């Protein structure tokens, strides 16, 4: 009998030993590191779980990083808007009409305080976080607002705010200093008329009298005029009141009172006129008193309104260009577009080309059965809609737009039938177009519709239908402008979750900050010398405007300090909620990853001991077999 090693294959035994040694080595590494494997290849069936968990954790890390960055910026913005709200309240209470202080000290300190607030406001607008400016929307590389001195005084031949104010004051006052109103006398009649069709000075609004001896004759139009005829002698104390619209959008009144003797001293400009020997003399006295009163109001109320109108021209809002007086201010009849070469541009951040506040720089008006839609002047290629086309129907004609600034007349030649439509095509500065269509309906009108009048008189029915169309057109234009308008908050966004994004952009030309910029600058450039008889009147008018602009009644307006603060608070809350979700999910994923990639050292130690015992036994058996021969076998 032949005895050899074929009955115990050593090669197989050695292979088993090698595998156990390799396993022992792996277990020792696991015991030292706590990890199942040192490479993806060694993960085995746990590899898909590991890769998926790590991918999700990487996403969460990215979202968490975004949230940290957003929280830093929102923290800064929260502090900034807290301070802006404080400044708004301080400005509101800093100047009160009629409160001049001892020795008129308030008239000295208010401009100084306003200058300090303006400087702080500009500093806040130009603050940056890690080199990123936060008040210019998506334009974050450069400061959005020039330095205060440049804003006020200009730079390099470019006009600043002070120059624009001086030009506007001259244009509104006119050469005669009567607010661009002219008077004329013919017998017992006095006529007051605007000196032209332009945006400057007083605009005649209303006319009323308490005397039956006086016949008022207002005349509408552009330029407007009114007449006062003395058909008999008025009684002392009877009045004539003229309503005037001011350049900044406010209203005032001029009241003239008949008297048997004229006041002197401080009451000399109170609008008192002497009852004369006859109606013609009384009319002449009335005209003289009217001129004096207009000059008085021009130096005070109109002066303040001019300063605020200039602030509206210089500190342009969203969807508006910067404009200035064109030509000689004293005789100017129009505004012109300011350019970067002749005027300091107060804001260089991101802005919207179209705003719903001004219907996309469109004006709707009605005269009888005709509704006119016109582009605002001066026309800017960078802001507002353009009228590209207009189409009428059987009973409604629409004129061709014509050259810029274009206008369209929509005339109701008959009472339209239900379903008749007026269509407008508006072009936008970015080259796109937007359609506005209005359909005639019987009964109550909905969005994009206007009601057909049921009046039996065709002429009245056409006018009433035109009025309904005018109202519907204004609403549709507002809706179109809102759709085209850029949302400031959406200019900067961050993804904080797979389907969660926070918008936290801020632009310095939003309504709340814009009102502060305009008001602080207006109050800064005004001075009230003690030897100037107009100082108190101008101070009162300026203080009243500051109180209105800074009042709490604007809090609900889009873009107000309070509205922006609320938007940013919601964004921060959304980011914090997303972070809380990520933290919970991260903990779960880390547990899953731990189960997939790590080992229990206790279990590994037990396996090492068991494997060590097997190895020892295998070594012993293998050694014995390798030494087996016939002699030992026998």
31-57: per-residue pLDDT in tens?
556 565 655 555 566 567 666 766 788
DSSP per residue, 254-311: EEEEEESS---GGGTTS-EEE--SSHHHHHHHHHHHHHHHHHHHIIIIIHHHHHHHHH
pLDDT of residue 154: 98
CA distance 383 to 428: 8
Overall average pLDDT of the 436-447 stretch:
97
pLDDT in tens, 288-335: 999 999 999 999 999 999 999 999 999 999 999 999 999 999 999 999
How far, in Å, CA of 359 to CA of 367, rounded? 20
pLDDT for 222? 86
* Token digits of residue 267: 């009451």
Task: Quick: pLDDT tens for 232-249.
Answer: 999 999 999 999 999 999
Which is it for the CA torsion 263, 267, 268, 272, positive or negative? negative
Number of domains in the chain: 3
Residues 496 and 500: their CA atoms lie apart, in Å, by 6
Q: Are 546 and 305 in contact (CB under 8 A)?
A: no
Alpha carbon distances (Å) from 244 to 145, 194, 298: 35, 11, 11
- For the segment 411-432, the average pLDDT, to the nearest whole number, is 97
Q: Which residues pair with 389 in a beta bridge?
A: 425
Q: What is the C-alpha to C-alpha distance for residues 593 and 13, in angstroms, rounded to an integer?
A: 37
Residues 6+ away with beta carbon under 8 Å from 374: 362, 363, 365, 405, 406, 407, 408
Taking alpha carbons only, the member of 450, 418, 448 closest to residue 436 is: 448
- Cα–Cα distance for residue pair 125/142, rounded to 1 Å: 11
What integer pLDDT is reported at residue 632 of this predicted model?
58
Q: Answer for the pair 191, 291: CB distance below 8 angstroms, yes or no.
A: no
Answer yes or no: are the C-beta atoms of 308 and 522 closer than 8 Å: yes
C-alpha 598, offset from chain centre: 55
The structure tokens 């021209």 sit at: 313
Tens of pLDDT, residue by residue over 539-567, are 999 999 999 999 999 999 999 999 999 99
Task: Say yes or no: 200 and 285 in one domain.
Answer: yes
pLDDT of residue 629: 60
Span 128-159, pLDDT tens digits: 999 999 999 999 999 999 999 999 999 999 99
On whether residue 274 sits in a domain, the answer given is: yes
Which two structure tokens, joined as six digits, stand for 180? 């661009």
Query: Mean pLDDT in the chain?
Result: 90
Is 496 inside a domain boundary? no
Query: Left (φ > 0), alpha (ψ -120 to 50) or beta: where does 369 sit?
Result: alpha
Start-to-end Cα distance in the chain: 11
- Reference 295, options 541, 535, 527, 534; nearest CA is 534
Same domain, 304 and 383: no
Domain for residue 379, yes or no?
A: yes
Residue 276 has what pLDDT?
Answer: 96
Contacts of 355 (CB under 8 A, 6+ apart): 317, 318, 319, 320, 361, 481, 485
Q: Which domain holds residue 224?
A: 172-312
Residue 13, pLDDT above cutoff 70: no
Beta bridge partners of 274: 259
Instruction: Provide mean pLDDT across the span 14-41.
Output: 62
DSSP state of 449: E
Of 391, 389, 390, 386, nearest in space to 404 by CA: 386
What confidence category does residue 263 fall into, taking pLDDT thresholds of 50, 70 and 90?
Answer: confident
Cβ atoms of 84 and 141 closer than 8 Å: no
Mean pLDDT computed over 334-348:
98
Portion of the chain with pLDDT greater than 90, in percent = 78
pTM over 0.85: yes
Is residue 219 within 8 A of residue 235, CB to CB? The reply is no
Q: Would you say residue 22 has pLDDT above 70?
A: no
Q: Check whether residue 477 and residue 386 sit in a common domain.
A: yes
- The reply to whether 198 falls in a domain is yes
Ordered alpha helix ranges (H), 427-485: 458-484
Decide which of 19 and 132 is more confident: 132
Q: For the ranges 60-69, 316-325, 339-348, 419-428, which has the lowest average pLDDT?
A: 60-69
455 in a structural domain: yes
Residues 307 and 181 occupy one common structural domain: yes
Cis peptide before 337 (omega within 30 of 0): no
pLDDT confidence of residue 219: 80
Average pLDDT over residues 364-371: 97
> 3-state SS of 179-192?
CCEEEEEECCEEEE
Who contacts 1 (Cβ-Cβ below 8 Å, separation ≥6)? none
CA distance linking residue 170 with residue 124, whole number of Å: 33
Distance of alpha carbon 580 from the chain centroid: 32
Residue that terminates a domain, selected from 485, 507, 536: 485
Q: Which of 485, 520, 552 corresponds to the end of one domain?
A: 485
Q: Considering the domain boundaries, does residue 422 fall inside one?
A: yes
Mean pLDDT of 484-491: 96
| 57, two tokens | 């954790």
pLDDT for position 607: 62
- Run of H or E including 231: none
Q: What is the rounded CA–CA span in Å between residue 59 and residue 609?
A: 41
What is the C-alpha to C-alpha distance for residues 74 and 16, in angstroms, rounded to an integer? 65
Residue range 172-199: mean pLDDT, rounded: 97
* Domain match, 294 and 401 both: no
**Same-domain pairing of 304 and 395:** no
**CA distance linking residue 464 with residue 461, whole number of Å:** 5
CA separation for the pair 513, 81 (Å, rounded): 10
Output DSSP code: residue 419: T
| pLDDT 10s digits, 612-625 | 676 666 666 666 66
What token pair was written down for 62? Answer: 């990215």
Q: Mean pLDDT over residues 204-217, rounded?
A: 96
pLDDT, tens digit, 9 for 90 and up, residues 85-116:
999 999 999 999 999 999 999 999 999 999 99
185 and 308, same domain (yes or no): yes
pLDDT score at 511: 97
In a domain, 141, yes or no: no
- 367 has which bridge partners? 370
What is the radius of gyration, based on Cα positions, of the chain?
41
Structure tokens at 227: 């007449």
Same domain, 461 and 376: yes
Residue pair 153/160 in contact by the 8 Å Cβ criterion? yes
Mean pLDDT for 388-399 is: 97
Residue 435 is assigned to a structural domain of this protein: yes
Give the residue from 276, 292, 312 where a domain finishes: 312
What's the pLDDT band for 1 if we cut at 50, 70, 90?
very low
């Amino acid at each position: 009998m032949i005895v050899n090693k074929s009955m115990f294959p050593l090669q197989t035994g050695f292979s088993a030993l090698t595998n156990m040694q390799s396993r022992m080595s792996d277990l020792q590494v696991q015991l030292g590191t706590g990890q199942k494997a040192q490479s993806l290849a060694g993960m085995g069936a746990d590899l898909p779980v590991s890769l998926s968990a790590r991918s999700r954790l990487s996403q969460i890390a990215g979202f968490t990083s975004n949230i940290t960055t957003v929280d830093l910026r929102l923290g800064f913005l929260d502090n900034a808007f807290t301070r802006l709200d404080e400044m708004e309240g301080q400005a509101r209470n800093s100047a009160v009409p009629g409160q001049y202080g001892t020795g008129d000290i308030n008239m000295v300190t208010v401009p100084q305080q306003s200058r300090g607030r303006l400087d702080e406001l500009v500093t806040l607008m130009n603050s940056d976080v890690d080199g990123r400016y936060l008040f210019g929307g998506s334009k974050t590389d450069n400061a959005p607002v020039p330095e205060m001195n440049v804003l006020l005084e200009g730079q390099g031949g470019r006009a600043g705010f002070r120059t624009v104010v001086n030009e506007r004051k001259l244009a509104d006052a006119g050469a005669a200093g009567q607010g661009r109103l002219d008077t004329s006398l013919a017998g017992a009649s006095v006529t007051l008329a605007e000196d032209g069709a332009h945006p400057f000075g007083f605009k005649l609004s209303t006319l009323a009298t308490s005397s039956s001896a006086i016949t008022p004759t207002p005349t509408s139009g552009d330029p407007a005029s009114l007449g006062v005829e003395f058909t008999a002698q008025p009684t002392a104390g009877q009045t004539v009141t003229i309503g005037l619209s001011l350049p900044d959008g406010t209203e005032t009144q001029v009241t003239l009172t008949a008297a048997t003797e004229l006041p002197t001293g401080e009451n000399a400009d109170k609008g008192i006129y002497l009852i004369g020997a006859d109606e013609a003399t009384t009319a002449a006295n009335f005209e003289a008193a009217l001129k004096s009163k207009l000059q008085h109001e021009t130096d005070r109320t109109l002066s303040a309104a001019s300063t605020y109108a200039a602030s509206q021209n210089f500190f342009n809002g969203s969807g508006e260009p910067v404009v200035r007086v064109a030509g000689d201010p004293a005789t100017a009849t129009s505004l012109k577009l300011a350019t970067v070469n002749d005027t300091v541009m107060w804001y260089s951040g991101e802005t919207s080309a179209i705003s719903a506040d001004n219907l996309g720089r469109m004006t709707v008006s009605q005269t009888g059965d005709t509704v006119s839609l016109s582009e605002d002047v001066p026309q800017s290629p960078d802001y507002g809609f353009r009228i590209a086309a207009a189409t009428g129907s059987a009973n409604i004609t629409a004129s061709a737009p014509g050259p810029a600034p274009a206008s369209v007349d929509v005339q109701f030649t008959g009472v339209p039938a239900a379903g008749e439509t007026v269509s407008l095509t508006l072009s936008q500065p970015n080259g796109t177009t937007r359609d506005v269509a209005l359909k005639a309906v019987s009964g109550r009108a909905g969005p994009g519709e206007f009601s057909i009048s049921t009046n039996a008189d065709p002429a009245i029915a056409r006018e009433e239908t035109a009025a309904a169309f005018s109202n519907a057109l204004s609403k549709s234009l507002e809706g179109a402008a809102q759709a085209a308008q850029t949302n400031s908050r959406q200019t900067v966004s961050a993804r904080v979750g797979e389907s969660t994004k926070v918008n936290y952009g801020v632009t310095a030309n939003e309504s709340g900050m814009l009102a502060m910029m305009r008001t602080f600058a207006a109050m800064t450039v005004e001075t009230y010398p003690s030897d100037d008889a107009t100082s108190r009147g101008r101070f009162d008018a300026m203080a009243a405007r500051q109180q209105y602009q800074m009042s709490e009644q604007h809090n609900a307006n889009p873009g107000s300090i309070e509205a922006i603060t609320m938007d940013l608070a919601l964004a921060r809350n959304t980011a914090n909620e997303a972070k809380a979700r990520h933290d919970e999910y991260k903990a779960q994923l880390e547990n899953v990853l731990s189960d997939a990639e790590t080992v229990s050292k206790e279990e590994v130690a037990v396996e090492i001991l068991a494997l060590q015992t097997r190895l020892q036994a295998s070594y012993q058996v293998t050694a014995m077999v390798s030494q087996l021969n016939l002699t030992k076998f026998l």
